[in-house]
Structure formats: C-alpha cells, structure tokens
A and B are shown apart, each in its own frame.
Chain A
Amino acid sequence: MFDDRYTLAYKRYPYKKSADQDAASPVRHPVVVMGGGPIGIATALDLGRQGIPTLVLDDHEGVGMGSRAICFAKRCLEVAGRYGCGKPMVDKGVVWNIGKVFNKDDQVFEFNLLPEEGHEYPAFINMQQPYYESFQLDRFEELQKDGAPIEIRGKNRIDNVDVHDDYVTLEIMTPDGPYTLEAEWLIGCDGAASPLRTMLDLDFTGKVFQDSFLIADIKMKNDDFPTERWFWFEPTHGGGASTLLHKQPDDVWRVDFQIGWDVDRKEEMKEENIRRRLDAFLGENVQYDMVWSSIYTFQCKRMDSFRHGRVFFAGDAAHQVSPFGARGANSGMQDVDNLGWKLGMVMRGEAPDSLLDTYNYERIHGADENILNSTRSTDFITPKSEMSRLLRDAVLDLSEKHEFARPMVNSGRLSVPCTYDGSPLNSADALDGPARSRPGSVCPDAPMGDDFLLNKLGDKFILLTIDADAPDMIEEAGIKVERLALSTADDKTGALRERYLGDNDKAVYLIRPDQHVAARRPSYDENQIRAAIRRAIGKE
C-alpha cells in the first residue's frame, strides 16, 4: 500500500495519526499543499508567516536522498532569506567564480564571474538539495514553535481530488487507511511527474530531449580539484559526450556525463560501469568514493495554465526545464514568491480573486523564459543538425583566441529572476531610470550601512523614496503602504544611485510584497501612486 518511491536522506516528519482521520465529516482546511519538497515547504513558509493555516501532505516522511538540484541562485537565496533560512544555506554552500571551458581536451578559455558588489547574497551557491530542504524544514519547525499555523503530515498520499467552485475534496491514503479532507485552496507542488496533474487530466506539453545524463557524486581520497566549474565539449576520454565537473560542500564533486539516448539504464548504473567512465575521465591514479549516482533525462514542458480555479501548480509540477542554467528549483522558488502574497491578500479579502490570475500570467512568462534559455543551452551542448554542430564548433574554435566568441559559448545561462514586463499589475514606467529596476523587475539589492536594502523592504507593499518627498504612510483600497525614505547622502557605495536613480536626482518606487517594482516616478504624485497601488492588487 505504501511503497516508497525513493530513499530518504533524512526522516523528518514520520507518520502520525491525525484527529482529522477520525472526524465524522471531512475537516476543511484553508490551504493544502500537495508535496513536501523544496517548493511545497517554501509555500508553507510563505503562507505560515502571513498567519494563514497551511497543511502540507507528503507521501514520504522526509527529505529524499541525492544531491539533485545543486545550484541555488541569488534570487532563490533572497527569498529563502526573507523566510528566515537564507543564512545557514550560504554558510553551508560552496561559492565559485572561476569557470573553465574545454573543447575536446584542451582548455579554450577561463572566465571569472566577478559577482557585482553590494548584494547580501552571492550570485549562487552549490549545495546538495537535501541540505536546502533541511534548512527550510528547520525554519518550518521554528515557525511552528513560534505559533505559525503550519503542519506537515508524512505518508499522507492524495489519491483523488474533486474540484468544486469554492473548495476541493481530497481522498488521502495513509498507513491507517484512507480519509477525506476538504481544502479551500490546493497547491500542487508534487514534482515533475505530478500525480495531481494526472488526476485532473491536464496537459503538459513541450519538447522531450533525446539524451541522458549520468550523475556521479564522488568524494576524492588522494586528490583535490579546485572550487571551479569545468565543462568539456566532446572530451576524448570517452566518459561522456560532454562532461561537467563542479564542487559541492563536504569535499564532494559532481560529475555529469552526457551518455546519449539509447542506453541500458540498469547496465549503466552498475558501479563498475560508472567507475569505468570516471576512471577514463580522471585518470587511473585518482582515488575516490562514490557518494550517489543517478541517470536523468529531461524535457522542456509546461502546463497551459498554472491555475485551475481553486487549484494552483508550482515548481516542476507546473513547468520543467533542462538542468542547464539551474532553472528548476530556482524558478519554483520564484513561483512561491509570486503566489504567496497574492493568495494571502485574496484570502484576507484585501484583493479580488482576479489577482490570482496574474500568478498564471507572470509565472508563465517566467517559465517560458526559462524554457527558452535552457533549450538554447541544450541545443548548443547537443547540436541537432550538422550545421548547428559546425557553427557550435566554430564558436568553440574562435573562443580560444578571440574574446568575442566567448559569450556565444552556452553551457548554461545561470538563472536570474524574471522581469514581468507587460504584467497587468505594472504601471507605466514614468522614470527615465536604470532598465534593471523598471516596473516588473525584482529590486536589485544594495548595501544600507551594515544592512541591505532587501531586508528593509521586507514583504509588504512599500513606497521607496530616494531624496523625494512623500507621506510616511498612504492607505488605499484598504492597503496600508509604508514609506521607506532613503537618501543618496547615505549611499556610500553609490549602488543605490546606480541601481535606482541613473541620471535622476530623486525617485519614488512602489514595491510589491515579492519585492518586484510595481511603479516608479521621478516624484510623488498622490493620484498616480494611488492608482498604481490599486493596479498592483488587481483593483484597476
């Protein structure tokens, strides 16, 4: 009845019978989250911090084994930071800046990512996914202790759903047998194979790539590699058609071999065969222990709509990308960031239901951008036609001597947050300011003395003024918007000016709870700002 689909790294929420299972009639919960992975737990953290009762149902009892999503980008860390678990992630994670690109066996060039100064979080960290999930679960338990109305139930598998106009009925299987619950809202964070999608018979369309990759996590015994990312196009060692090496915490290195489509998975997964590839790649004298291995194939697909009435989809359940560019978990976190405040406002009666449709609009925009970028990387790594291969090889040849060709080399474009250009929640850009902070963009961080701007913005609507006059608080459509008054006089590094003012002396920004810019103007104009607030909550 309860076959585990995967092995656990950490058992965190063992099955415990709930009083709901003996209730005479189905108990109704405000929000049920299906799936206790990184996106499901993040959803509970977001809603729980708003005081919204949230119940997570997971068919396992903890964190799955395997390093899986190992690259966590800045926006993901900033969101986790707002939820209160970003710091331990950065402490544990590995930061790298140097990358090397090899064509055949020769290094063609080296790059240094030289991250921009003045951000609290690094551009990205490498860290095994179980650590990421554990830090989120630690925070989950902390919030519970502080009284947040959140709960997670292990070995609670949703087997059937019945969607009504204003609630959803859930048939749940447990080790003690089935029971029924009702949810006012259901959020499917149940992964790429999403059983919820199947139960609702919803389409998931896109491209399947005919290739597979073998992951081998290894711990070095007598050798050491630097903390860099190395990528080989067509190495002659024969371990894989392309090979990627990068570092994780605990002296573990991730090796990714591209091994083709037509492989015998069972045969390839035998330790002797994995070692054969590794030995060909590393040379005979390197000794290592194998930590974890897996074969994966991938597809670039998304659902036509991430909202179906009272049901939402987030993370891999809603969209799937190739791994190049680390756009899986990172984009899932942006889904949560986007949905959390909107659902909160609608549930509190502060915004109309139509605000939730903008989750669909904005995150489909994000998913398409991620799919486009990761598809391009995939096509560069595994060219689909002879000419595509010729051009790719020409780029690699030229990149060795000529700098201009290096930005064309595409072994993954790192996940950066999506800008919601054209979103119905944006007001027209009234400031001739920096493009990176135009309406729809996520606010770039900047140092504020010992602290950082994003911490000061928090997770409420904020009127950010830089050397501009405005009231300290403005109330519109039932929403209180506080002012955060900043001055370039305190902007020692110049980051605030560069990122928010450009050539202007002053500016006023309306910022959403997910720290995206809703509107910006050269000065405060009451009517315009009031209209921008109404628009940003779906009331205009």
Chain B
Amino acid sequence: MTDLILTPNIDGVDDFYAELIAAHEGLSKEDSDALNARLVLVLANHVGDREVLSQALKAAEK
C-alpha cells in the first residue's frame, strides 16, 4: 500500500506555483473555482490509488 506523500516532492516548486497562479490570471472567481475543481479531478485520476485519495482528502481538511 502506498502512502500519501506529505514531504516536498516537486522539483522547482516556485516555477510550479507561478504556473498555477498564471493559469488563474484574468479568470472570474467562478471560472477560477471551476478550474480548480477540474484540476482536482485531473490530479485525482493521475493518483488513482483509492487509499491515497482518501488520505489526501483527510490531509486537506482543516
């Protein structure tokens, strides 16, 4: 069973963060929210592992 990775795992994290912000540039709040929702689904599909996805949902809870 794989565990959710909660240690730094992105090379060039500043580049990624800038790209993420740039993807939202010029969008209305509604369109931005919709982009985030699609992004969550795309990434979830990439992860695939049901157990990891459940762990991710927990980690994101406040």
Interface size on A, residues (CB 8 A): 21
Partner of B14 from the list A398, A406, A410 (CB cut-off 8 Å) is A410
Question: If the complex has contacts A402-B59, A404-B9, are A379 and B14 also in contact, measured as CB distance less than 8 A?
Answer: no
Task: Indicate whether B57 reaches chain A with its CB closer than 8 angstroms.
Answer: no
Question: If the complex has contacts A373-B14, A376-B14, are A387 and B29 also in contact, measured as CB distance less than 8 A?
Answer: yes
Task: Indicate whether A503 reaches chain B with its CB closer than 8 angstroms.
Answer: no
A435 to chain B, nearest CB (A): 12
Residue of A nearest to B18 (CB): A376
B14, B25, B59, B62: residue with the most chain A Cβ atoms closer than 10 Å: B14
Task: Indicate whether B44 reaches chain A with its CB closer than 8 angstroms.
Answer: no
A104 to chain B, nearest CB (A): 14
CA–CA, A306 to B36, complex, Å? 42
Are B20's CB and A391's CB within 8 A?
Answer: yes
Are B13's CB and A403's CB within 8 A?
Answer: no
Residue of B nearest to A379 (CB): B21
Residue of B nearest to A406 (CB): B8
A499 to chain B, nearest CB (A): 20
Task: Indicate whether A407 reaches chain B with its CB closer than 8 angstroms.
Answer: yes
Question: If the complex has contacts A407-B13, A408-B13, A410-B14, are A388 and B6 also in contact, measured as CB distance less than 8 A?
Answer: no
A372-406 CB contacts (< 8 Å) to partner B: 373, 376, 379-380, 385-388, 391, 395, 397-398, 401-404, 406
Q: Mark B11-31, 1 if CB is under 8 A from A, else 0.
A: 001100110110011010100
Partner of B24 from the list A376, A388, A403 (CB cut-off 8 Å) is A388
Partner of B5 from the list A380, A388, A404 (CB cut-off 8 Å) is A404
Are B21's CB and A391's CB within 8 A?
Answer: yes
Task: Indicate whether B45 reaches chain A with its CB closer than 8 angstroms.
Answer: no
Residues of chain B with a CB closer than 8 A to A379's CB: 21
CA–CA, A105 to B18, complex, Å? 26
Question: If the complex has contacts A387-B27, A397-B62, are A407 and B21 also in contact, measured as CB distance less than 8 A?
Answer: no
Are B6's CB and A404's CB within 8 A?
Answer: yes
CA–CA, A397 to B24, complex, Å? 20
Question: If the complex has contacts A403-B7, A404-B6, A404-B8, are A387 and B32 also in contact, measured as CB distance less than 8 A?
Answer: yes
Are B6's CB and A403's CB within 8 A?
Answer: yes
B17 to chain A, nearest CB (A): 6
Residues of chain B with a CB closer than 8 A to A404's CB: 5-9
Residues of chain B with a CB closer than 8 A to A403's CB: 6-8
Task: Indicate whether A535 reaches chain B with its CB closer than 8 angstroms.
Answer: no
Task: Indicate whether A413 reaches chain B with its CB closer than 8 angstroms.
Answer: yes
CA–CA, A395 to B60, complex, Å? 11
CA–CA, A305 to B7, complex, Å? 42
Residues of chain A with a CB closer than 8 A to B21's CB: 379, 387-388, 391
A317 to chain B, nearest CB (A): 27
Are B17's CB and A410's CB within 8 A?
Answer: yes
Question: If the complex has contacts A376-B17, A376-B18, A406-B8, are A385 and B24 also in contact, measured as CB distance less than 8 A?
Answer: yes
Residues of chain B with a CB closer than 8 A to A388's CB: 21, 24
Question: If the complex has contacts A376-B14, A376-B17, A376-B18, are A386 and B29 also in contact, measured as CB distance less than 8 A?
Answer: yes
B35 to chain A, nearest CB (A): 8
CA–CA, A395 to B32, complex, Å? 17
Residue of B nearest to A402 (CB): B6
Are A413's CB and B14's CB within 8 A?
Answer: yes
CA–CA, A373 to B24, complex, Å? 19
Q: Mark B23-62, 1 if CB is under 8 A from A, else 0.
A: 0110101001000100000000000000000000001101
Residues of chain B with a CB closer than 8 A to A401's CB: 59
A205 to chain B, nearest CB (A): 20
Residue of A nearest to B13 (CB): A407
CA–CA, A387 to B31, complex, Å? 10
Residues of chain A with a CB closer than 8 A to B14's CB: 373, 376, 410, 413
Residues of chain B with a CB closer than 8 A to A397's CB: 62
CA–CA, A408 to B9, complex, Å? 11
Residues of chain B with a CB closer than 8 A to A380's CB: 17
Residues of chain A with a CB closer than 8 A to B60's CB: 398
Residues of chain B with a CB closer than 8 A to A385's CB: 24-25, 32
Residues of chain A with a CB closer than 8 A to B36's CB: 387
Residue of B nearest to A403 (CB): B7
Ordered by A's residue number, 28 sampled pairs between the chains whose C-beta atoms are within 8 Å are A376-B14, A376-B17, A379-B21, A380-B17, A385-B24, A386-B29, A386-B32, A387-B21, A387-B24, A387-B32, A387-B36, A388-B21, A391-B17, A391-B21, A398-B60, A401-B59, A402-B6, A402-B59, A404-B5, A404-B6, A404-B7, A404-B8, A404-B9, A407-B13, A408-B13, A410-B14, A410-B17, A413-B14
Known A401-B59, A407-B13; 9 more pairs at CB < 8 Å: A376-B14, A386-B32, A387-B29, A388-B24, A391-B20, A397-B62, A403-B6, A404-B8, A404-B9
Query: Which 10 residue pairs of A and B lie closest in terms of their CB atoms, listed nearest first?
Result: A387-B32, A387-B24, A402-B6, A407-B8, A403-B7, A407-B13, A404-B8, A404-B6, A388-B21, A404-B7
Residues of A whose CB lies within 8 Å of any CB of B are 373, 376, 379-380, 385-388, 391, 395, 397-398, 401-404, 406-408, 410, 413
